Amino acid sequence: MHYISTRGQAPILSFSEAMMTGLARDGGLYVPETVPQMRPDEIAALASLPYEEIAFRVMWPYLGGTFTEAEFRTLLAQAYAGFGHAARAPLVQLGPNHFLLELFHGPTLAFKDFAMQLIGQMMQAALAKSGERITIVGATSGDTGSAAIEAFRGLANVDVFILFPHGRVSDVQRRQMTTPSEANVHALAMDGDFDDCQARVKDMFNDFAFRDGVRLAGVNSINWARVLAQVVYYFSSAVSLGAPHREVSFTVPTGNFGDIFAGYIARQMGLPIAQLVIATNQNDILDRAMKSGAYAMDGVKPSISPSMDIQVSSNFERVLFDAYGRDGAAVAALMAELKAGGFKISQGALEMLRATFASGRCSEEETLATIQAQFAATGEVLCPHSAVGVKVAEEHLGAVPMITLATAHPAKFPDAVERAVGLRPGLPPRMSDLFDRDERVTRVPNDLAALQTLIRERIAR
Ligand X SMILES: Cc1ncc(COP(=O)(O)O)c(C=O)c1O
What is the contact surface with ligand X in residues (CB under 6 A)? 110, 143, 221, 253-260, 307-308, 385, 407-408
Residues 128-157 that bind ligand LJ64HWYM (CB under 6 A): 140-145
Which of 319, 311, 308, 309 shows the shortest CA–CA distance to 295? 311
230 binds ligand LJ64HWYM per the rule CB under 6 A = no
305 binds ligand LJ64HWYM per the rule CB under 6 A = no
237 binds ligand LJ64HWYM per the rule CB under 6 A = no
Q: What is the Cα–Cα distance from 56 to 307, expressed in whole angstroms?
A: 29
Residue 252: strand, helix, or coil: strand
Residue 112 known to be catalytic: yes
Q: What is the largest CA-CA distance in the chain?
A: 60
Give the nearest distance from C-beta 169 to ligand LJ64HWYM in angstroms: 8
**Nearer CB in complex with ligand X: 407/452:** 407
* Helices (H), ranges, 40-157: 40-44, 51-63, 69-80, 112-130, 143-152
**Nearer CB in complex with ligand LJ64HWYM: 283/359:** 283
Residue 47: phi and psi, rounded to 5, are: -60, 135
Which of 30, 19, 120, 115 shows the shortest CA–CA distance to 66? 19
Give the nearest distance from C-beta 451 to ligand X in angstroms: 21
220 binds, options ligand X, ligand LJ64HWYM, none, Cβ within 5 to 8 A by partner type: ligand LJ64HWYM
Binding mask 188-227 for ligand LJ64HWYM (x = CB under 6 A): --------------------------------xx------
Residue 29 DSSP code? -
Exactly one of 176, 256, 283, 311 binds ligand LJ64HWYM (CB under 6 A); which one?
256
CA dihedral 99, 319, 104, 55 (to 10 degrees): 90
> How many residues belong to the site for ligand LJ64HWYM (CB under 6 A)?
13
CB atoms within 10 A of CB 49: 15
253 binds, options ligand X, ligand LJ64HWYM, none, Cβ within 5 to 8 A by partner type: ligand X
Residue 220: strand, helix, or coil: coil
Which of 265, 269, 283, 260 shows the shortest CA–CA distance to 358? 260
317 binds ligand LJ64HWYM per the rule CB under 6 A = no
Binding site for ligand LJ64HWYM (CB under 6 A): 140-145, 220-221, 255-256, 258, 307, 314
Which of the residues are catalytic?
112
